[in-house]
Amino acid sequence: LALAQPGVSGLHPYQPGKPVEELEREMGIREIVKLASNENPLGASPKVAAAIAEQSEQICRYPDANGFYLKQALSAILGVGGDQITLGNGSNEVLEILFRTFVGAGDEVIFDAHAFIVYRLLTQASGATAVAIPSQDWGHDLDAMLLAITEQTKLICIANPNNPTGTFLSKEALASFMSQVPKQVLVVLDEAYFEYVPVEERAPTVEWLAQYPNLCVSRTFSKAYGLAGLRVGYLVSSAEIADLLNRVREPFNCNSLALAGAQAALADQEFVTRSVELNRTEMARLESYCQERGIDYILSYANFITMKLTPADEIYQALLTRGVIVRPIAGYGMPDHLRVSIGLPQENDRFMAALDELLVEAR
Ligand code: PMP
């Protein structure tokens, strides 16, 4: 242990659950409903499987180390140069590359106390100091974040929408924030759930890159595109930052099947629209359910909803025995909440029926 880098021994490993098939076998339950990882319940576009099958004929070849075609497609959609894009093995990896490139011992990294856990992990692993800012109504307190900036601040991480709260920052709030951040401080806007935000409410974050050379925007194919298992994400930045990130990045970090799959997914926007529509109608059903039962929930702009359900641990276990997996988020400093991913209508029905049973029992 003593041989590890300074921040490493204090890290807690990511705690994945058992594979669903194994749980089904152990518990003797058929068809467990998994609403725990914010995955797309519709799966992925059928065009993805076809593209992967075709690409698999070339599996003996190394992938294109620069992801040329995927970057070309992304740059056409985003209106940026291919030299402004960094591809990663999931957006987690582009965040990791960003930290490896810029963050080290003595630096401070600012993020929200209930933000995506990876910011804290990467900060600790870098040997930097985490500056966690208390949330305001479970969302980012941008004014407090600005006040926390010091000479040592290297990076500010903002998830919008945030995981695990689903909270969202308006474009006005973000624009005002960006205008006040000193240029030597990097800001990463993590937009993993970007596609779920109504078009009219989205901030033009990629356009802001022209104005703010310290801004980075990360997105992923894991959520609305349904490719969580393939692992593809990307970060858009100035060409200067992308150049540095691409020096640090492993040359073949995105495998050839992932590149082909992501490209096919990007070309099927109709699938994304369908996914977002389903999310919207099912989210509305879950919100009504909570309102009718007096369950406190956090208004979410993402593909999950976080509810106050106490005692959360017991409710999580009881739902599990009824074949419904949700996500406890005590590790995010929210021991009284459970995060529930939006599933298919019948999956959400299963969740609501199981929770109803528990609520009746508790009475
Ligand atoms: N950012 C946020 C806010 C997330 O919730 C997630 C997924 N849990 C990620 C990034 C990383 O997703 P991926 O590595 O699959 O792109």
ipTM: 0.99
Between residues 94 and 19, the one the model is more confident about: 94
Question: Is there an atom of ligand 1 within 6 Å of 222 CB?
Answer: yes
Q: Inform me whether the pLDDT recorded for 363 exceeds 80.
A: no
pLDDT at residue 15 is higher than 70: no
Phi, psi of 4 (to 5 degrees): -70, 160
Lowest mean pLDDT among 7-21, 175-189, 269-283, 327-341: 7-21
Residue of 93, 140, 190 with the most ligand 1 atoms within 8 Å of its CB, for mutation: 190
Q: Say yes or no to pLDDT of 6 above 80.
A: no
pLDDT of amino acid 60? 97
Residue 90 beta carbon below 6 angstroms from any ligand 1 atom: yes
What is the DSSP-derived secondary structure letter of residue 56? G
What is the 358 CA–ligand 1 centroid distance (Å)? Answer: 31
CB of 163 shorter than 6 A to ligand 1:
yes
The average pLDDT across 201-214 equals: 98
Q: Which long-range contacts (CB under 8 A, 24 or more apart) does 312-319 make?
A: 312/336, 312/337, 312/338, 315/355, 315/358, 318/354, 318/358, 319/351, 319/354, 319/355, 319/358
Looking at ligand 1, which atom is closest to the CA of residue 161?
3
Q: Is the CB of 129 under 6 A from ligand 1?
A: no
Q: Specify the pTM.
A: 0.96
Q: What is the pLDDT of residue 5?
A: 76
Confidence at residue 10, expressed as pLDDT on a 0 to 100 scale: 76
* pLDDT over 70 percentage in the chain: 99
Residue 361 pLDDT: 82
Residue 152 has pLDDT above 70, yes or no: yes
- Amino acid 221 reads F
Is residue 167 over pLDDT 80? yes
pLDDT of residue 1: 67
Give dist(CA 67, CA 109) in Å, integer.
30
Instruction: Kindly give the interhelix angle for 46-55 and 256-267, rounded to the nearest 10 degrees.
Output: 150
Ligand 1 contact, 161 CB (< 6 A): no
Per-residue pLDDT, averaged over 129-133, amounts to 98
Residue closest by Cα to atom 5 of ligand 1 = 163
The amino acid occupying position 326 is V
Q: Which amino acid is at 121?
A: L
Q: Average pLDDT for residues 233-251, to the nearest whole number?
A: 97
Report the distance separating Cα 331 and Cα 33, nearest Å: 22
pLDDT of residue 29: 82
Mean pLDDT (the chain) is 96
Element (H, E) at 308: strand 304-308
Which residue shows structure tokens 């921040």?
A: 7
Render pLDDT for 24-63 as a digit per residue (tens, 0 to 9).
Answer: 888 888 889 999 999 999 999 999 999 999 999 999 999 9
With a 6 Å cutoff on the Cβ, whether 86 touches ligand 1 is no
At residue 138, does pLDDT exceed 70? Answer: yes
SS3 of residue 196 by DSSP: helix
Rounded Cα–Cα distance for residues 117 and 125 (Å): 13
pLDDT at 26: 86
Instruction: Identify the three-state secondary structure at position 87.
Output: strand
Domains parsed from the chain with CATH numbers: 8-43+270-362 (3.90.1150.10), 46-268 (3.40.640.10)
Residue 113 near ligand 1, beta carbon < 6 Å:
no
